[in-house]
Chains A and B, each alone.
Chain A
Amino acid sequence: MKPVESKKSHNGIITTAILWCLLIIFIIPFAIMLISAFKTNAEIMGNPLAISKNPTLSNFIDAFTAMNYPVALLNTFIITLISVALIILTSAMVAYYVLRSKSKVGKFIFYLFTSSMMIPFQAIMIPLVTIYGHLGLLSNRMTLIYLYIGFGCSQGMFIFHGFMKSSIPISIEESAKIDGANVKQIFFGIVFPLLKPIIATLAVLDVLWIWNDFMLPSLVLTKPFQLTLPLSNYSFSGQMSVNFGPLIASLVMTIIPVLVLYIFLQKYIIEGITSGAVKS
């Protein structure tokens, strides 16, 4: 038995070595950013590999004010939070209607929503800008949240529908009905709390989408005080085409909140991605 075991651990070492080498390649971009963010522009141009001899925070200070960091962070945070909360609420409710109403309307909504998931955003953006522009609704963060609900609710409905169908026994609902509870009481009192695991999944998917989204907000938000982090990064990169130091610092500042969150929630995020991908 012994030679087999030693061969096995030998293989384990090779596997580990391959994976760590791959990981280093994967991590290099992050490392380069961290190294460069603390260097002066002259140092970056001179030798991008070297670690700065006198690390400086001036890039961060420049970027912080020039990209209006606190405002962009707050915009991104509020837009993401409200949109995701409302997507979860609206799509859970519509999924409950589709599942429990047993009507033709419910079936129709299900097919309408799921078939719309095939439409790429690019096929909607031009008429969207035309219509909402004529109505005077662009340049407005509330409009953006409204649009996110519209674009997010079909996937949400689909995921909630699948979960409710397989994991919410109708018998508890029926016994509550006999006790005199109405539909709203049953949904918010019994069904919604049972959705927690799938709410986490959808929240992960939607937060990653909306936090990082660029195309839709670039069409809707135009004023400097409305910009989200990706928009602010992009417009800042236009001003900093040769001045790499502050640009890199602005990217580091954009990444850090997400990375910190990931370190604490990675278990849920990975689980959420797994079940989300398999379900949709």
Chain B
Amino acid sequence: MGHNKKAQGLKFFIAFAAPTVFIFITVVLIPFVYGVIMTFTDTNGISSSINWIGFKNYIQVIKDKAFWSSLLITIEYVLASVIFTNALSFIIAYLLTLGIKGQSFLRSAFFTPNLLGGIVLGLVWRFIFQKFFVYIGTAFHIPILEVSWLADSHKALIAMIIVSIWKTTGYLMIIYIAGFTSIPKDLLEAADIDGCNKLQKILKIQAPMMASSFVICTFLTITGSFMAYDINVSLTKGDPFGSTTLISLNIFREAFVHNNYGKGQAEAIILFIIIAFIASLQVYLGKKAEVEQ
């Protein structure tokens, strides 16, 4: 009987889990483990003579100014995107739960930029920054728009942040709307009776009740913008003078343009450690927010 049960369990595993587990191991697990090993070698992806070089790749990365500058640019990009996207989407979500006419149309319309991939978005905005804004700047004598933002090392990063806000706001708005609508109505009515104004209601009732929405949205934007690549490669290509090279683009170029597979992979592992740390923090804070509700 026990033997029979074991055989059944094995059959169940082979029929339902084995194919997916095999695909997962060959696509995610083996490359990940192999990737960690690669960082201790001088592999370039082509030559077959591979030598162990210990921590040399990591030391090279730490000494590399281009790596630190791309990490710093990425952090600036992440912080600005996270703050502005969350603030804007929270406000829009709030206004779209007040019950005005055309509410559901507006919700769908604000979400539209999310349907587009980063490449299309980047190319559209490249045209807007290079032609449209420059034309307006010269025609109406607005100095700040006269020269393309993509040609200026400070404004090019701002341009990327604007595009990132434009893309992500609609997505977060949907999550915040779900948060707003999940708050029991009688709670807000009770606050009305107690004479709370709208701002007090937002700060004292709605925002605290939406802690888990904040956690989801904040971390979604943090990890999303840490890994941003498509918008980067299509909008600025890292120009001018590498001033907008985010970490993903830097890793990509290190490996596939300069053929430094080991060093590029070492940078990728550092990115992984950052993302894993942020993700664990999210799980921790998410559980805490749930408990407190």
Find out whether the CB atom of B32 lies under 8 angstroms from the CB atom of A233.
no
Query: Which residues 10-28 of B have a CB within 8 angstroms of A?
Result: 11-13, 15-17, 19-21, 23-24, 26-28
Say yes or no: A121-B227 contact (C-beta < 8 A), given A23-B109, A150-B23.
Answer: yes
Q: Which residues of B contact A105 (CB under 8 A)?
A: 13, 17
List the one stretch of A58-66, A67-75, A90-98, A161-169 in contact with chain B.
Answer: A90-98
Query: Which residues 220-236 of A have a CB within 8 angstroms of B?
Result: 230, 233-234
Q: Which residues of A contact B102 (CB under 8 A)?
A: 16
Query: Which residues 73-113 of A have a CB within 8 angstroms of B?
Result: 90-91, 93-94, 96-98, 100-101, 103, 105-106, 109, 112-113
Q: Does A56 contact B (CB under 8 A)?
A: no
Q: Bound complex: CA of A172 vs CA of B128, how far in Å? A: 58
Q: What number of residue pairs across chains A and B have CB atoms under 8 A from each other?
A: 260
Find out whether the CB atom of B28 lies under 8 angstroms from the CB atom of A278.
no
Interface of B is mostly: helix
Q: Bound complex: CA of A122 vs CA of B252, how far in Å? A: 8
Q: Does A189 contact B (CB under 8 A)?
A: no
Find out whether the CB atom of A44 lies under 8 angstroms from the CB atom of B131.
yes
Find out whether the CB atom of A258 lies under 8 angstroms from the CB atom of B116.
yes
Q: Does A178 contact B (CB under 8 A)?
A: no
Say yes or no: A254-B96 contact (C-beta < 8 A), given A29-B128, A97-B13.
Answer: no
Q: Does A38 contact B (CB under 8 A)?
A: no
Q: Does B83 contact A (CB under 8 A)?
A: no
Q: Mark interface residues in A238-257 (1 if CB within 8 Å of B CB, else 0).
A: 00000010011001001100
Query: Which residues 187-236 of B have a CB within 8 angstroms of A?
Result: 216, 220, 223, 226-227, 229-230, 233-234
Which residue in chain B gives the minimum CB-CB distance to A248?
B127
Q: Bound complex: CA of A40 vs CA of B178, how far in Å? A: 45
Which residue in chain A gives the minimum CB-CB distance to B230?
A214
Selected from A48, A150, A211, the residue in CB contact (under 8 A) with B135 is A48
Q: Does A118 contact B (CB under 8 A)?
A: yes
Selected from A117, A121, A129, A183, the residue in CB contact (under 8 A) with B16 is A183
Find out whether the CB atom of B272 lies under 8 angstroms from the CB atom of A123.
yes
Find out whether the CB atom of B115 lies under 8 angstroms from the CB atom of A129.
no
The 10 closest A-B pairs by CB, nearest first: A150-B27, A212-B117, A127-B35, A123-B272, A97-B16, A97-B17, A90-B20, A94-B20, A127-B31, A118-B279
**Interface set of A (CB-CB < 8 Å, partner B):** 12, 15-16, 18-20, 22-23, 26-27, 29-30, 32-33, 36, 44-45, 47-49, 90-91, 93-94, 96-98, 100-101, 103, 105-106, 109, 112-113, 116-131, 133, 146-147, 149-151, 153-154, 157, 183-184, 187, 208, 211-215, 219, 230, 233-234, 237, 244, 247-248, 251, 254-255, 258-259, 262, 266, 269-270, 273-274, 277-278
